[in-house]
Amino acid sequence: MSTIQGCVIVTGGAQGIGKGIASHLLENGVPVAILDCDAEAGEECLRQWNQHAQRMLFTQTDVANEDSVRSGVDTAVERFKTIGGLVNNAGIATAHGGSVETLALEDWNRVIGVNLTGCFLLAKHATPHLRKSRGAIVNIASTRALQSEPNTEAYAASKGGIVALTHALAISLGPEIRVNCISPGWIEVGPWKKSSRRKEARHSDADRLQHPAGIVGEPQDIASAVEYLLSESSRFITGQNLIIDGGMTKKMIYV
């Protein structure tokens, strides 16, 4: 059983990596509050994990809206009394796909608002409760904070901001609250989408072998690390960015 004391708030916990994190924590006896903007996905999680009904809740939340965040945190506290951890996982990628010259300010602001400002707002409103429990925060960034494909400026900037926000919060909130960050690489989330968007994982040998680990990552690979960073087992770790990418960012490629 986990050493995490109290409920863990997981933003974006109704699909993808966040759902994998929520599932892993629940299976290890940790109460979970899922804060997600997608009501369909959230309600589906409640039905899917009915056996954990006493240890979970879902509340529809827009992490870029402070009133919505405040309400989501208050709902978690009302239900579980103690907040022992926060996982800032919610994130979006702009569907723009064009060059920086054509990227609309509205699209830029929405990505930064959800991905980066959302982390700030959750930390702001969860901190008083985490101080009491001497809990921990784990922010989910991306290897895109360290390397890029073309035309991903908003997403890369938001994830790089999360890495910097992580060490800033670690210094500001320590020693009562530890704050760390995970930067996932390629994580296959198709099977972890809501049923209307779920896809079977299909990977070629080339997909797998471009990772030095020889596999494509799965949400469980991130979830187990999240649990570790929230637990007492990582009591001497704070302000760090853990890269979990099967070694891809260390692989030199010459064409």
Out of 120, 155, 221, 248, pick the active-site residue: 155
Within a domain: 205:
yes
Give the CATH number for residue 29: 3.40.50.720
| Domain count along the chain | 1
8 A C-beta contact, residue 4 and residue 233? no
pLDDT tens for residues 151-204?
999 999 999 999 999 999 999 999 999 999 999 999 999 999 999 988 888 889
Locate 237 and state its tokens.
Answer: 């770790």
- The token pair at 55 is 């240890």
Do residues 16 and 192 make contact, with C-beta atoms less than 8 angstroms apart? yes
User: Residue 1 falls within a domain, yes or no?
Assistant: no
Could you tell me if 122 and 9 are in contact, meaning their C-beta atoms sit under 8 angstroms apart?
yes
Domain membership flag for residue 255: no
pLDDT of residue 248: 94
Neighbours of 16 (CB within 10 A): 23
pTM for the full predicted model:
0.96
Residue 212 lies in a domain: yes
C-alpha distances in angstroms, 104 versus 70, 99, 116, 153, 154? Answer: 29, 10, 18, 12, 10
The residue to which tokens 């972890």 are assigned: 192
Burial of 217 (0-12, 13-18, 19+ CB in 10 A): buried
What is the extent of the structural domain holding 19?
7-250
> Which residue, chain included where needed, has tokens 């690390």?
225
Which strand (E) or helix (H) includes residue 36? strand 32-36
Q: Is residue 235 in some structural domain?
A: yes
Q: How confident is the prediction along the chain (255 residues), in pLDDT tens digits per residue?
A: 678 989 999 999 999 999 999 999 999 999 999 999 999 999 999 999 999 999 999 999 999 999 999 999 999 999 999 999 999 999 999 766 689 999 999 999 999 999 999 999 999 999 999 999 999 999 999 999 999 999 999 999 999 999 999 999 999 999 999 999 999 999 999 999 999 988 888 889 888 989 999 999 999 999 999 999 999 999 999 999 999 999 999 998 887
Q: Is 82 helix (H, G, I), strand (E, B) or coil?
A: coil
Classify residue 95: in a domain, yes or no: yes
Query: In this structure, is residue 228 part of a structural domain?
Result: yes
Q: Which residue has the tokens 């994190």?
A: 21
Structure tokens at 207: 């997909």
| 155 is known as an active-site residue | yes
